[in-house]
Amino acid sequence: MSPQTVMIIDEHPLFRYGLRHLMGSDELFVIAAESGNASDALNIADKLQPDMILIDTNLYDTKTFETIRLLRKRCIKSYLLVLSFSSTKTDIYNAIDAGAQGYLLKNSELDMLINSMRKAAEGHHVFSEKVYQCLINRHQTYDPLSSLTRRESEILHEMATGLKNKEISKLLFISEETVKVHIRNMLKKLNVRSRLEASLIYMRSK
C-alpha cells in the first residue's frame, strides 16, 4: 500500500505531538498537516485532500459534529477517524451520523491504535470495543435485514467488507448508478443514515 497522507485535528498540542510521533514510526503514514481549530482545519483539508483525517469530538468553541459533516462533504475520499476520550452514546451517534467512518478512544493501548489506523487505511471501519458495543446496541431492538431483496443483501455484504460503489458494480456486473439506487433503498429499509450503520447491522447478524 502506498503511503497515506494524514491530517490531525485536535486542540491539544501535546496530543498532536504524541500522535504525530506514534504514526511517524510507521512508514505507511505521512503527517501532512495538523490544526487546533475547525475553521483552519476545514480550509487546510479542502486544499490538501488527505487520505485520512483524525479528529477529536471536543474542539474548543466549535460545533465539532458540524465540522465532521462539512469534512465529509468537502473531502469525499478522505477516511474520517474520530479519536476521542468520550464514549458517551450521544457523541458516538452524532459522530457516525455526521459521516465518521471509525471511532477510537484516546485511552486505548498504543498497539491497538496503530493497528486500527492501519486497518482504516485499508478502508475498514474501526472502533474501540466500547464504541462498537454502543453502536450495536443502537440497533438491537429490531432485525430489518429480512426486508431486503436478494440484490440489496448482496450489495450490503460487499459494502460491509469495505468495497466502494464502483468496486461493487464491477463485482456484481451492474452499473454504479444501480448500486447507488439499491443502497438508497437499503438505507431507508434499515432506517439508518449511513453505509457504516448499515454495515454494522449486517456484521451483528453474522
Over residues 108-125, the pLDDT tens digits come to 999 999 999 999 999 899
Q: Please determine, for residue 61, whether its predicted confidence score (pLDDT) is greater than 80.
A: no
Q: Are 111 and 158 in contact (CB under 8 A)?
A: no
Grid coordinates representing 87?
464514549
Name residue, grid cell 450489495: 155
Q: From CA 113, how far away is CA 105, in angstroms rounded?
A: 9
Which pLDDT value is given to residue 100?
Answer: 94
According to the model, what pLDDT value does residue 110 have? Answer: 92
Q: Is 185 exposed, middle or buried (0-12, 13-18, 19+ CB in 10 A)?
A: middle
Percent of the chain with pLDDT over 90: 68
Between CA 80 and CA 69 the distance in angstroms is 10
Evaluate whether 72 touches 99 at the Cβ level (below 8 Å): yes
Residue-level pLDDT at 206: 66
Under 8 Å between Cβ of 203 and 133: no
Task: For residues 94-117, give the mean pLDDT.
Answer: 93
Cβ atoms of 50 and 71 within 8 Å: the answer is no
**Segment among 61-70, 74-83, 127-136 with least mean pLDDT:** 61-70
